[in-house]
Amino acid sequence: MSDIETGAIYYNAKKTGLGSRFALVIKSTLVSIRKMPLAASIAFEDTRYKVVARFPYIILYVVRGNVIFITRVFNTHQQPVY
């Protein structure tokens, strides 16, 4: 299960419809990345991150030419897995 699916299930359990709102905000953030991929901050090396509005998530991605690779949708309130 992806981080987005897990988040949507979690937020729907908290409040009906909140998971759908979460998914829409994720989609909106992905559209923003697609429109201006180099506008986001650099996390490390060539990996960039975009903060998701209203939810404790960030989207990590790499730009290679005209291609954007989403490497992770990360819940910032969880312990990182190394």
Predicted confidence at residue 2, as pLDDT, reads 85
Summarize pLDDT for 42-59 with one digit per residue, the tens.
999 999 999 999 999 999
Contact 9, 20 (CB under 8 A): no
Please report the domains of the chain, with CATH numbers, ordered by start residue: 3-75 (3.30.2310)
Per-residue pLDDT at 77 exceeds 90: no
Output the furthest CA–CA distance in the chain (Å, rounded): 40
According to DSSP, the residues that pair with 44 across neighbouring strands are 47
Distance, CA of 80 to CA of 45 (rounded, Å): 19
Gyration radius of the chain's alpha carbons: 13
**Average pLDDT of the chain, as a whole number:** 93
Tell me the whole-structure pTM to 2 decimals: 0.88
